A and B are shown apart, each in its own frame.
Chain A
Amino acid sequence: MSHWSVTLATLKKDIRLEWRSKDALNSMLFFSLLVVVIFAFAFDPLAEESRHIAGGLIWVAFLFAAVVALNQTWARELRNQVLDAYRVSPAPANALFLAKALGNFIFVSVLEALMAPLFVIFYNLHVLGPAWQLIPIAILGTWALVVNGTFFAAMSLRTRSREIMLPLLLFPISIPAVLGMVAGTTAVLTGDNPAHFYIVLLLTYDVVFTTACLALFETVLHAE
Chain B
Amino acid sequence: MKRLFPILAVLTAIFLAYALHLALGKATPTDAQQGDVYRIIYYHVPSAWTAFLLFFINFIASVEYLANAKPSSQTAAKWIVLAIGIIGAIASFVPQVQHRLPAGMRPSAVATTVLAIPAFYFLVGKFFPGERLDVLAVTSAEVGVVFCTIVLVTGPIWARPVWGIWWAPGDIRLTSTLVLWLIYVSYLVLRRFSTSAQTQMLAAALAVFGALDVPLVYFSIWFFRTQHPQPVIGGGGSMDPRMLHVLLMNWLAFLCFGFLVCWSRFRLELVHREVEEAHAMESLAGGAPAKPSHPLNRSPQ
A contact set with B: CB distance below 8 Å: 148, 155-156, 158-161, 165, 168-169, 171-173, 175-176, 179-180, 183, 193, 197, 201, 204-205, 208-209, 212, 216, 219-220, 222-224
Chain B residues numbered 49-85 whose CB sits less than 8 Å from any CB in chain A: 66, 69
Q: B195-226 interface mask toward A, CB cutoff 8 Å, 1 = contact, 0 = none?
A: 11111011001101110110011011101100
- Say whether, besides A158-B196, A165-B190, A165-B193, A176 and B201 are in contact (CB < 8 Å): no
- Which of B194, B196, B209, B223 lies in contact with A197, CB distance below 8 A? B223
- Say whether, besides A172-B183, A173-B183, A216 and B219 are in contact (CB < 8 Å): no
Chain B residues numbered 163-207 whose CB sits less than 8 Å from any CB in chain A: 179, 182-183, 185-186, 189-190, 193-199, 201-202, 205-206
A171 to B189, CA, bound (A): 13
Q: Which partner residue on chain A sits nearest B198 by CB separation?
A: A223
B227 contacts A by Cβ under 8 Å = yes
Chain B residues numbered 217-241 whose CB sits less than 8 Å from any CB in chain A: 217, 219-221, 223-224, 227
A4 to B131, CA, bound (A): 37
Q: Which residues of B contact A179 (CB under 8 A)?
A: 220-221, 224
Q: Which residues of B contact A201 (CB under 8 A)?
A: 216, 219-220, 223
Contact B179 A175, beta carbon cutoff 8 Å: yes
DSSP class of A's interface residues: helix, strand, loop or mixed? helix
Instruction: Taking A158-B202, A165-B189 as given, write out 15 further A-B residue pairs in contact, using a Cβ cutoff of 8 Å, ordered by the A residue number.
Output: A148-B209, A158-B196, A159-B193, A160-B193, A161-B193, A165-B193, A168-B186, A169-B206, A172-B185, A175-B213, A176-B216, A183-B224, A201-B216, A209-B212, A212-B209
A216 to B73, CA, bound (A): 12
DSSP class of B's interface residues: helix, strand, loop or mixed? helix
**A160 nearest CB across to chain B (Å):** 5
- Which of A180, A204, A212, A219 lies in contact with B201, CB distance below 8 A? A219
A175 to B246, CA, bound (A): 36
- Say whether, besides A201-B219, A216-B66, A173 and B193 are in contact (CB < 8 Å): no
- Which of B186, B193, B202, B220 lies in contact with A172, CB distance below 8 A? B186
A171 to B217, CA, bound (A): 13
Q: Which 8 A-B pairs have the closest CB atoms?
A: A158-B196, A223-B198, A172-B182, A176-B216, A159-B193, A223-B201, A172-B183, A176-B220
- Say whether, besides A175-B179, A223-B198, A159 and B224 are in contact (CB < 8 Å): no
Q: Which residues of A contact B216 (CB under 8 A)?
A: 176, 201, 204-205, 208
Which of A168, A169, A183 is the most central at the interface, judged by chain B CB atoms within 10 Å of its CB?
A169
Contact A173 B201, beta carbon cutoff 8 Å: no
Which of A160, A175, A201 is the most central at the interface, judged by chain B CB atoms within 10 Å of its CB?
A175
**B131 nearest CB across to chain A (Å):** 15
Q: Which residues of A contact B197 (CB under 8 A)?
A: 224
* Chain A to chain B contacts (Cβ below 8 Å), 17 pairs: A155-B206, A158-B195, A159-B193, A165-B193, A171-B182, A172-B183, A172-B185, A173-B183, A175-B182, A176-B213, A176-B219, A212-B208, A216-B205, A219-B69, A220-B202, A223-B198, A223-B201
Q: Which residues of A contact B182 (CB under 8 A)?
A: 171-172, 175
A155 to B189, CA, bound (A): 13
A90 to B220, CA, bound (A): 40
